[in-house]
């Protein structure tokens, strides 16, 4: 079996400190499965799941073997295709998020992915921006689909300047065409949230969301393991209001009896990375200038650069996506 040696970010055991992440040479088989493509990576973005996985917190969902490469979100250029790949050819510019089960890590010179979770990169988007459209954007999109967002509905999302929250606001406004969007952010992110399309923006450092917002929302999407948004949902609504949390409900008390009394549907939603529901509509929004990828910071593809990026993520206060530029 012939192999390829390349530079990648990885960890050798579950870690507690970003300084335990390494960047060095790894080796992988050259052969591709029939539906896989090899990508020469240009940029990667990171998500809380990368850090949670490196700490061993998501073993129940994504079992790890060591050494484990890190990163799911990717943009780059296709350099090889498997025998049954139909969507791409060598030279195509792509973006997407690597499938959690077969991922080889996107913070790397090369990544291998099933073609289903990759899309053609619109020319209007830089590689750095395209890398930011992976897990966060797809989760926002699928969560809104799941909540049956649409015209006439009102949506609340907390952490509206975060990776997921910013896309919830933009998709709710420009794709699902909902009537009203509310969110919470800290003071210096209020303008960003408004510019993305939020109508009601609560500065959580100054006000309590349940004191400012009325119980007039159909959908609440929770990024923070916070039960409070339930109190701004319409009780006993038809169709029933939806509380969708993206954070493991084991981390907080969900108050099932209260939700039952208020007749509010509750769900812990997890991105289905193999779902093909993220395609032309997104590219149309991008081309029409109705979807931006807010970038919090860009980092170099060096050991220190990757550690800095993870430290920024772990800090929990990013405005938009954290990007690692793998190749200019
Ligand atoms: N279930 C799934 O499939 C799925 C998929 C993707 C993500 N997730 C989870 O969803 C969560 C959010 O992910 P993400 O990528 O959006 O994270 P992120 O980008 O790291 O979120 C950072 C944002 O959270 C905001 N924030 C922190 N505390 C806040 C508070 N008390 N009130 C309002 N905003 C607050 C920060 O704003 P300030 O600086 O203003 O505080 C910052 O903008 C993570 O736990 C992630 O693991 C789950």
Indicate which residue's Cα is closest to atom 38 of ligand 1: 317
pLDDT at 279: 64
pLDDT of residue 280: 64
Q: Going by C-beta distance under 8 Å and a sequence separation of 6 or more, which residues neighbour residue 86? A: 115
Give the mutation target among 147, 159, 170, 206 for probing the ligand 1 site: most ligand atoms within 8 A of CB.
Answer: 159
Residue minimizing CA distance to atom 37 of ligand 1? 317
Residue 100: the pLDDT is 77
Q: Which backbone phi and psi does 182 adopt, to 5 degrees?
A: -125, 155
Is pLDDT of 251 > 90? no
The 10s digit of each residue's pLDDT in 259-271 is 889 999 999 999 9
134 CA from centroid of ligand 1 (Å): 15
- Between the CA of 319 and the centroid of ligand 1 the distance, in Å, is 10
Question: What is the model's pLDDT at position 153?
Answer: 98
Is pLDDT of 252 > 90? no
Task: List C-alpha distances in Å: 191 to 162, 184, 185, 319.
Answer: 13, 12, 10, 11
Ligand 1 proximity of 269 Cβ (cutoff 6 Å): yes
pLDDT at 58: 87
Cα(262)–Cα(227) distance, rounded to whole angstroms? 13
Average pLDDT over residues 90-114: 91
Residue 120 tokens read as: 């053609």
HEC string for the chain: CCEEEEEEEEECCCCCCHHHCEEEEEEEECCCCCCEEEEEEEEEEECHHHHHHHCCCCCCCCCCCCCEECCCEEEEEEEEECCCCCCCCCCCEEEEECCCCCCCCCCECEEEEEHHHEEECCCCCCHHHHHCCCHHHHHHHHHHHHCCCCCCCEEEECCCCCHHHHHHHHHHHHCCCCCEEEEEECHHHHHHHHHHCCCEEEECCCCCHHHHCCCCECEEEECCCCCHHHHHECCCCCCCCEEEECCCHHHCCCCHHHHHHHCCEEEECCCCCCCCCCCHHHHHHHHCCCCCCCEEEEEECCHHHHHHHHHHHHHCCCCCEEEEECCC
Mean pLDDT within 52-77: 92
Q: 223 C-alpha vs ligand 1 centroid, how far in Å?
A: 5
CB of 111 sitting under 6 A from ligand 1: no
Ligand 1 center to 137 CA (angstroms): 13
Residue 284: phi and psi, rounded to 5, are: -65, -45
**Planar angle of CA 123, 126, 130, nearest 5 degrees:** 95
Query: Does ligand 1 have an atom closer than 6 angstroms to the CB of 143?
Result: no
**Is beta strand 154-157 parallel, antiparallel or unpaired with respect to 295-300?**
unpaired
Confidence of residue 272 (pLDDT cuts 50, 70, 90): confident
Determine whether the shortest distance from the Cβ of 164 to ligand 1 is under 6 A.
Answer: yes
pLDDT in tens, 162-211: 999 999 999 999 999 999 999 999 999 999 999 999 999 999 999 999 99
Tokens of 129: 């921006």
Domains, the chain, ordered by start: 3-133+293-325 (3.90.180.10), 139-268 (3.40.50.720)
CA 288 to chain centre: 22
Q: Look at residue 277 in the predicted model and tell me its pLDDT.
A: 67
319 Cβ below 6 A of ligand 1? yes
Q: Which atom of ligand 1 lies closest to the CA of 183?
A: 33
Q: Which atom of ligand 1 is nearest to the CA of 158?
A: 33
236 versus 65: the higher-pLDDT residue is 236
């Amino acid at each position: 079996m012939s192999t390829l040696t390349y530079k990648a970010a990885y960890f050798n055991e579950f870690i507690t400190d970003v300084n335990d992440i390494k960047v060095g040479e790894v080796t992988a088989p050259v052969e591709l499965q029939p539906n896989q493509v090899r990508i020469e990576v240009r940029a990667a973005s990171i998500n809380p799941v990368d850090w949670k996985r490196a700490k061993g917190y998501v073993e129940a969902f994504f079992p790890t073997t060591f050494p484990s490469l890190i990163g799911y979100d990717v943009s780059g250029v296709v350099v090889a295709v498997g025998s049954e790949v139909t969507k791409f050819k060598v030279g195509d510019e792509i973006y997407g998020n690597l499938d959690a089960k077969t991922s080889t890590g996107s913070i790397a010179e090369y990544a291998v992915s099933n073609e289903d979770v990759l899309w053609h990169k619109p020319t209007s988007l830089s590689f750095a921006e395209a890398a930011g459209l992976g897990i966060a954007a797809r989760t926002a999109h699928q969560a809104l689909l799941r909540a049956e967002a649409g015209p006439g509905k009102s949506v609340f999302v907390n952490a509206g300047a975060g990776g997921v929250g910013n896309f919830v606001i933009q998709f709710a406004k420009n794709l699902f065409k909902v009537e009203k969007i509310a969110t919470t952010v800290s003071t210096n992110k209020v303008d960003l949230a408004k510019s993305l399309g939020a109508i009601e923006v609560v500065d959580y450092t100054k006000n309590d969301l349940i004191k400012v917002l009325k119980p007039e929302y159909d959908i609440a999407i929770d990024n923070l393991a916070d039960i409070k948004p339930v109190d701004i949902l319409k009780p006993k609504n038809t169709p029933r209001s939806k509380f969708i949390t993206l954070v493991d409900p084991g981390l907080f008390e969900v108050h099932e009896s209260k939700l039952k009394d208020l007749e509010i549907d509750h769900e812990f939603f997890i991105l289905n990375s193999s779902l093909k529901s993220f395609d032309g509509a997104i590219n149309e929004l991008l081309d029409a200038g109705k979807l931006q990828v807010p970038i919090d910071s860009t980092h170099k593809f060096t050991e220190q650069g990757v550690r800095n990026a993870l430290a920024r993520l772990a800090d929990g206060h990013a405005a938009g996506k954290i990007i690692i530029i793998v190749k200019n």
